[in-house]
Amino acid sequence: MMDPRNRVVRVRRFGGPDEMEVVDAPMPTAGPSEVRVRVLASGLEYTDVTIRRHLYPQTMHLRPPFVLGYDVVGEIDQLGDGVRGFQLGDRVADMTVVGSNAAYRTLRADDLTRVPPGVDAAEAAALTLSWTTAYQLLHRTARVQRGQRVLVQGAAGAVGQALLTLGRMAGLQLWGTARGEHTGLVRELGARPIDYQREDFTRVLPGGFDVVFDGIGEDGYRRSFAALRRGGLVCAYGYTAMVQPQRRLFTMSLWMSRLYLWRLLLGWLPGGKRIHLYSINLMRARHPAWFREDLERLFGLLAAGTIRPRVAERISFDGVTQAHRRLEAGSLEGKLVLCPDLG
């Protein structure tokens, strides 16, 4: 039998998709309290684009070369000293931010969430970041109530689709902004579509929305704020409108600092409107048990067939660069997932 071989997707310098490379790497070894996994699936996220372009504040300390890969589903093939409760062959998941677009990697045993038997690895990987984000936005941050009127910005994206699906299950009245070609998908997911290129979403609902979920960040979330009713809430969780090739990390950091200042000032404005800036990593740091609980709940729904994340395509190592170009183009209706076992 041939020795296992490790390959990784590495950023050699900050910039566009061509600044990535797939290279052979040393085989990692599980240290104390760690496991090594053979990676079955790892998401290719739009967040990876911001990391690659050095526009993601949470990875600003990294310097190339480093390995991309925000989440991972893998099969344990090595146990480090002191690991209890896991055995070889167990399937597990984790959110790692970087390092998981690989054939093998090590993980802290305390951070792992079990993946139920029979669950598709690519679909499980599609849940780990996007659907956990959506679940926590709905139930940990906004604490939505049945019947509330909710607007999802970027409804055709990975988090947007999850918000619509889980929001429908929670009994919400849903609207979703998307490009014209994606309005059918938004309608299929149970929301009224809003073609943002033709319609002014701030005028769609007289009286305003109870909650707006915004991962776009256009105009500093001001238009989402304008779409709220008195006492409504904007949950801001992304800023894809700001991710441009010429943008620099200093500019992004200055923009975000102004946003936090604006958030403080909002408390003095009439109408009682509020904004909450959500970060899944900050939420996990503050409430580590919540991440595992929420992901386990989502895996249970997946195993039962209650939810089904859309996997646009399973990508081999050879297709990663083109996959990143597709991520930047923004025309996907599902998740791209790296599956190292593909030829």
Sheet holding 173-178, edge to edge: 192-195, 173-178, 149-152, 209-214, 228-236, 274-277
Q: Give the 3-state secondary structure of residue 36.
A: strand
Taking 60 as the threshold, does the pLDDT of residue 228 lie above it? yes
> Tens digit of pLDDT for each residue in 55-110?
888 898 999 999 999 999 999 999 999 999 999 999 999 999 999 999 999 999 99
Q: Give the 3-state secondary structure of residue 328.
A: helix
Instruction: Assess whether the previous peptide bond of 65 is cis (omega < 30° from 0).
Output: yes
Q: What distance in Å separates the CA atoms of residue 152 and residue 9, rounded to the nearest whole number?
A: 32
Task: Decide if domain 6-128+287-338 falls under CATH 3.10.129.10.
Answer: no
* Whether 42 contacts 125, CB under 8 Å: yes
> Tens digit of pLDDT for each residue in 1-50?
567 889 999 999 999 999 999 999 999 999 999 999 999 999 999 999 99
The whole-angstrom distance between residue 17's C-alpha and the CA centroid of its chain comes to 19
Q: Give the 3-state secondary structure of residue 191.
A: coil
Give the whole-number percent of the chain exceeding pLDDT 90. Answer: 78
CB burial string 308-329: b at 16+ within 10 A, e below: ebbbbebbebebbbebbebbee
Q: What distance in Å separates the CA atoms of residue 71 and residue 92, rounded to the nearest whole number?
A: 11
pTM: 0.91
User: Domain segments of the chain: what residues?
Assistant: 6-128+287-338, 142-277
- Name the CATH superfamily for 142-277: NAD(P)-binding Rossmann-like Domain (3.40.50.720)
Angle, CA 245 vertex, CA 322 and CA 336 arms, to 5°: 30
Residues across the chain: 343
